[in-house]
Amino acid sequence: MRFHVLTIFPHLLESPLQEGIIRRALQAGRIEVELTDIRDFATDKHAMTDDRPFGGGEGMVMKPEPLAAAIRQARLAHAQSHVVLLSPQGRQYTQAVAEEFSLLADLVLVCGRYEGVDERVRQHFVDEEISIGDYILTGGELAAMVIIDSVTRLLPGVLGCEGSVAQDTFSRGGIKYPQYTRPRDFEGYEVPEVLLSGDHTKIAEWRFAAGVSLTWEKRPDLLAAMTFSRKELQVLKKHGVLLEAKGKA
């Protein structure tokens, strides 16, 4: 998969791309990441990419000419490019969107700055807008890195343990079960006995019930979208997770 990031600060992304899973994915050829400086497409001698807003007001707005030219070049590199403008008014980014993006061959991420981009770019040069949350960043670069990271780990061959993706938080819409490692006893706090039993069926049931219970405790809003089989409901009842009492039959 190819990620193409359009930004006026490409150096912001260089260091994160050289660490951990992203670095290994790049070295293995699982992904390509191209960083393009939007300033290279500016038409004046000062390489200006922003200007004052028409009608007055605070701040600066990113000019349409450099952005449009950078997007056009990115599309030339891949006919099926999907162009995303990172914007607080965009579609909310979720695990489901990450999975959707992981099926693409080429993703172009446009990083806005200042008060935003010229509206004509949003209307005519991008395929969609994406927001990673209801808060404001100084630019789209960190949001682009979030998308690159979350999508890359979904690609085949990237993670050392392929099964971990299916067990991730939000993989079924809820929160993942609690995790424990050695030592068995830490300052008097012990690991749940079932995890030491060697009974994989009991361990799987405990983890499932614990994940649902945590979802109710920390993110009850997620339960509305979760569905359970009859067997799973029996497991939940067995472990004292009574969904009927929590608004879900």
Give the C-alpha distances (Å, rounded to integers) separating 174 from 79, 161, 169, 194.
Answer: 36, 21, 6, 22
Catalytic residue among 115, 129, 149, 232: 115
Assigned token pair, 225: 């979208």
168 is catalytic: yes
The C-alpha torsion from 48 through 10 and 157 to 99, rounded to 10°, is -50
217 is catalytic: no
153 is catalytic: yes
Catalytic residue among 168, 178, 219, 232: 168
134 is catalytic: no
CA distance 189 to 95: 33
Catalytic residue among 153, 172, 205, 207: 153
Closest of 43, 102, 108 to residue 72, by C-alpha: 108
Catalytic residue among 88, 178, 219, 232: 88
CA distance 204 to 239: 12
CA distance 199 to 192: 13
CA distance 64 to 125: 10
List, by residue number, the catalytic residues: 88, 115, 153, 168
